[in-house]
């Protein structure tokens, strides 16, 4: 286990009482505004001293209120990337990076300055001042500075929240590379499920200062019971698929265990494994294999669970030859089709419904 957290903290009108474990990889803290994400990550960083609790990173105790241990931030060996990058405005990018190196605590990731510059594409920016950088570039420098402090874990609090969709799409591949190239555990705070679905291995779902659910991302994103918590529009499973062919008409063929998927605009090489997020609302269920349909993605599946919602909707969990999928249909359709666990049927996906933004490089 990389990080283990069990803390309590009370503000006027808000109580945080949360425990979770972050294994190696990217652990996402997800929850609505005010759920307690920043309070929790600040407690891990040492920027907030919780009323009570214990936090360990690998075998080091960062906080143990019973033993009166509370390491100051600079002794925790953590890199912190904030939503507002907090670069030094009077220093060049190079000097901002040097600042990270100067305060390297040692022991953490052994990335050299040139590794970091390459990984984050910073070479053309080194002589610039922060005011001459775009939002995405600024965040890349902030990440570089945090990495050069040789942290044992990176804490990222809404690092992309201030960026527009295009800049966000620009920076996500860098985060994916960071994750795959270096074995650095990351605690990633976000209220954007699309980012989390692309990056995270583990999901910790916070609600009202408590951990509502925690576990592997694939399990939680395909759990029909969590659809109302994750948001009915955003909920959807992630699956890994291998790129097998790019056709001249722009459609890419991706292989999953249940068959082939045909999706537009997949920017990955043949042979690459990519993570594809399929929103529950984009999946239609048919009892028999549909004929004469414009959709090209029809997969044989088995219903694994039916979750009727409080309103007109129902969430249906599906097994596609070992890959979990989720569909959101009306409760009326679920009843009319007589859907129940164990029933074989077909999942229909519109090719254009899986946006490029939902496709990320494979994160083992």
Interface residues toward ligand ATP, by CB under 6 A:
11-12, 14, 31, 33-39, 191
CA separation for the pair 244, 295 (Å, rounded)? 19
Measured in Å, how far apart are the chain's first and last C-alpha atoms? 17
For residue 315, the minimal CB distance to ligand ATP (Å) is 24
For residue 190, the minimal CB distance to ligand ATP (Å) is 9
CA separation for the pair 278, 155 (Å, rounded)? 27
Q: How many of the other CB atoms lie within 10 Å of CB of 254? A: 26
Nearer to ligand ATP, 39 or 92 (CB): 39
Nearer to ligand ATP, 27 or 92 (CB): 27
Nearer to ligand ATP, 203 or 298 (CB): 203
Residue 33 buriedness (CB in 10 A; 0-12 / 13-18 / 19+)? exposed
Q: What are phi and psi of 276, to 5 degrees?
A: -115, 130
Nearer to ligand ATP, 14 or 88 (CB): 14
Closest by CA position to 100, among listed 128, 142, 45: 142
For residue 225, the minimal CB distance to ligand ATP (Å) is 22
Whether 314 and 328 have beta carbons less than 8 Å apart is answered as: yes
288-311 core/surface letters (b: 16 or more CB in 10 A; e: else): eeeeeeeeebbbebebbbbbebee
SS3 125: helix
Pairing of strands 297-308, 14-22: unpaired
Nearer to ligand ATP, 12 or 248 (CB): 12
Nearer to ligand ATP, 154 or 327 (CB): 154
Nearer to ligand ATP, 29 or 235 (CB): 29
Nearer to ligand ATP, 15 or 134 (CB): 15
CA separation for the pair 212, 31 (Å, rounded)? 9
Place of tokens 């089709």: 337
For residue 37, the minimal CB distance to ligand ATP (Å) is 4
For residue 48, the minimal CB distance to ligand ATP (Å) is 8
For the record, the structure tokens of 96 come out as 């901002």
For residue 351, the minimal CB distance to ligand ATP (Å) is 34
For residue 211, the minimal CB distance to ligand ATP (Å) is 13
DSSP 157-180: ESTTTTS-HHHHHHHHHHHHHHHH
For residue 159, the minimal CB distance to ligand ATP (Å) is 13
């Amino acid at each position: 286990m990389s990080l283990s957290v069990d803390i309590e903290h009370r503000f006027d009108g808000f109580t945080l009482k949360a425990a979770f474990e972050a294994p190696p990889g990217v652990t996402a803290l997800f929850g609505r505004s005010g759920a307690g994400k920043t309070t929790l990550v600040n407690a891990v960083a040492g920027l907030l001293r919780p009323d009570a609790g214990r936090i360990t990173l690998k075998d080091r105790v960062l906080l143990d209120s019973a033993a009166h241990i509370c390491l100051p931030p600079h002794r925790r060996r953590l890199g912190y990337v904030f939503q507002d990058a907090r670069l030094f405005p009077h220093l060049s990018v190079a000097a901002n990076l040097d600042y990270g190196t100067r305060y390297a605590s040692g022991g953490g990731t052994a990335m050299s300055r040139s590794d970091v510059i390459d990984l984050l594409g910073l070479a053309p920016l080194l002589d610039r001042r922060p005011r001459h950088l775009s939002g995405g570039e600024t965040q890349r420098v902030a990440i570089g500075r945090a990495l050069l402090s040789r942290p044992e874990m990176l804490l990222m609090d809404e690092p992309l929240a201030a960026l527009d969709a295009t800049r966000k799409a620009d920076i996500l591949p860098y985060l994916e590379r960071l994750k795959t190239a270096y074995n650095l555990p990351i605690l990633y705070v976000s209220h954007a499920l699309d980012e989390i679905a692309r990056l995270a291995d583990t999901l910790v779902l916070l609600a009202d200062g408590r951990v509502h659910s925690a576990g592997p991302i694939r399990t939680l994103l395909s759990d029909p019971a969590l659809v109302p918590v994750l948001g009915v529009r955003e909920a959807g499973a992630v699956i890994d698929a291998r790129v097998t062919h790019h056709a001249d008409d722009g459609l890419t063929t991706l292989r999953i265990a249940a068959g082939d998927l045909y999706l537009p605009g997949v920017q990955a090489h043949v042979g690459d494994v990519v993570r594809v997020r399929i929103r529950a609302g984009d999946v239609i269920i048919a009892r028999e294999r549909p004929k004469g349909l414009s959709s090209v993605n029809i997969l044989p599946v088995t219903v694994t669970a039916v979750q009727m919602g409080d309103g007109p909707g129902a969430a249906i969990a599906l097994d596609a030859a070992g890959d979990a999928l989720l569909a959101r249909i009306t409760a009326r359709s679920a009843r009319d089709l007589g859907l129940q666990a164990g029933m074989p049927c077909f999942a229909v996906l519109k090719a254009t419904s899986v946006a490029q933004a939902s496709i990320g490089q494979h994160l083992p």
